[in-house]
Structure 1
Amino acid sequence: MTTSSVPTTRNEVADRLIDGSIRRSHNSLLEIDWDAAQDPDLFYMPPEMLTLYGTALWEQMTHRERVELSRQEVANTFSRAVWFENTLNQGLLRAMLYQDPTSAHVHYALTELGDETRHMVMFGKMVSAIGAEPYRLSLPQALSVQALPMFYKGLMLYVAALCGEEVIDDVQRRFMHHPQLQPIVAQTMRIHIAEEARHIRFAREGVRRHVRTAPWWSRTFCATANGAGAFILDRMFLDKRAYERCGLPVAEAVRQARANEHSRARRRDSFADLRGFLEDNGLLNPVSRFMWRRYGFLA
């Protein structure tokens, strides 16, 4: 790409992303065979991604028990991804109320909404196809999640999108071609990665644009509040109900998972690119760093 062809305004960026959406969008209802047979010996999530991988408890588990843990943990991740996409869609829709409906920027935001809606269907179909029970939010959790879009305004909308998208995207890119991964999960990751690349570009451009003009209090709020992303991602990776459903000793499993240095190293690796971007834009402070460190995303 030549310097003169690099998009600079938000509408130029949006035009480029719309063009990419036209050329490369997916429909999982047509592209994934949801009824395909699944190999009982293949993992639903690569073993290296599992919360108990490398622990003493892991060494005591049979191969089929490890596969079942992968089935439960991927069901938890996809179930929680559905509600995250829900909150992001609400934030995008609310922002559009104050924007020009004829602009390419709004048109791409609507295109992204379509992508995210299809992702929610895909995640739900995935949980159903692998025969897992979805991980539902409790009433207090649902009320808390419902409040999130109220804070998705201006800079915070794009920061929140990145916190929810970049870490998961990094993990999927690392493991999409894992030789022990169920094909149905690999196909889901492939579709999600292809479309999330545009969403991440859109969100990063939004952060860069807003951080230049946002008042100090807005930048301070975003630099503090993004630490909540560590808590949310932690719940996407670890839910004690997965251990219950696998028949594991729950308290001991949680203890070993929390102390699992392999798992923490993987989290640090997946957060590295986002951490650098947030640092470069002045969007990490002692509070958010404490939260990201508390949940294993920072050393």
Structure 2
Amino acid sequence: MTSVGAHEHADTAQPDRQSVAQRLLDSSETLSYDPVKEVDWETPLDTSYHGASPEWSTLYGTSYWAEMTPEQQRELTRQEAASVASTGIWFEMILQQMVLRDFYAKDPTDPAFQWALTEIADECRHSIMFARGAAKLGAPAYRPRRLAVELGRFFKTTATGEAAYAAILVAEEVLDVMQRDWMRDERVVPFVRTINNIHVVEESRHMKFAREETRERLEGAGRLRRQYNALVVSIAAYFIVSSMVNEKVYANAGLDSKRAIREARSNEHHKAMLRSSCAGLMEFLDSAGLLTKAATVFYKRANLI
């Protein structure tokens, strides 16, 4: 990620920060994609494919999943993939605004400034790519619930430093693990696999910077600051993860919505998938002092621990 709510760094830290930013810029020049050209937007949707790896479905492993026809299972994964993409757009828009706010009127010759604009360009392309992908999957516009939208509006306006970076990292890490599975899965419709591959490759640079910025911002931070930001990040994580699959996907897949929601909420397989995907993230947050007792409550509610 880019610098969010940046403060004045010590002179000795600047060369390292600039070096990292320059390496990311170089990497971006070497390995970036244009979704307009790379993704097959023209071929009609082949409904013999899933939209995501079935094992990542919120109903996989439930009695309802066992009763569903293969066609219903594929349609559900397509709707769920579209919902995840829509949630990705929501958070990427939050990120873009935080980055622009941070770099307003700063030194444009600084590699970090140029990396910030590069990342905004990446996220903008990703959002358009996700939007077109969701439309091609035959899904409506899935949006987070009103409370999440309003909290996101507040977060993008106020979050700074490690709170912003760590929250960004949570969103990207969860998406990264599931999308790595989807992009390799031949059961998933080819154009979705391409979308996931593009996102995984380009977001890897963003995650690297987010981790380094989180560590740097926390240097010298006191206990109260760590406790506060740990809680803020965990609450953000809860709303991000709980917003990924909109409950309307079940009705749109032709299922009994009430039963599907009930079984999805108690689906231990899906909870285990989320916990597994976040093992590395939780280790990082713990090492950074951001996995406090209060924060753990929200991570457990989000099934990340």
Fold shared per TM-score above 0.5: yes
Aligned residue for 1:202? 209
SS at match of 1:226: helix
Out of 185, 192, 205, the position equivalent to 2:192 is 185
| CA distance in structure 2 between the aligned counterparts of 1:119 and 1:218, rounded to whole angstroms | 33
Residue matched to 1:265: 272
Give TM-score, length-normalised by structure 1: 0.92
Aligned partner (choices 39, 48, 57) of residue 32 of structure 1 = 39
List per-residue Cα deviations over 1:211-252 (Å, max 9, x = no partner). Answer: 103344332222111112332233343321111212322222
Distance 2:241 2:148 in 1: 14
Would the alpha carbon gap of residues 273 and 140 (structure 1) be closer, same or farther in structure 2, given more than 3 Å must change? closer
2:133 matched to which residue of 1?
A: 126
Deviations 1:4-58 (A, max 9, x none): xxx9711010010000000011110111111213321210011000000010000
Q: Report whether the alignment pairs 1:147 with 2:154.
A: yes
Q: How does 1:1-299 map to 2 (within 5 A)?
A: 9-97=16-104, 99-137=106-144, 139-298=146-305
Structure 2 segments unaligned to the other structure (5+ residues): 1-13
Instruction: State the superposition RMSD in angstroms.
Output: 1.7
Q: Is the 8 A contact 1:35 1:129 kept in 2?
A: no
Which amino acid in the other structure matches residue 143 of structure 2?
A: R
Q: Give the Cα–Cα distance (whole angstroms) in 2 for the partners of residues 154 and 10 of structure 1.
A: 15
Contact 2:41/2:191 (8 A) holds in 1:
yes
Structure 1: segments with no counterpart, 5+ residues: 1-6
CA deviation vs aligned residue, 1:83-116 (integer Å, no higher than 9, x gap): 1000011111111137433211111111111100
CA contact (8 A) 1:47 1:53 kept: yes
TM-score (norm 2): 0.91
Cα contact 2:32–2:202 (8 A) shared by 1: yes
Whether the aligned pair in 2 keeps the contact of 1:159 and 1:222 (CA below 8 Å) is: no
Give the length in aligned residue pairs: 292
Between the aligned residues of both structures, percent identity stands at: 35
Q: Distance in 2 between matches of 1:218 and 1:114?
A: 32
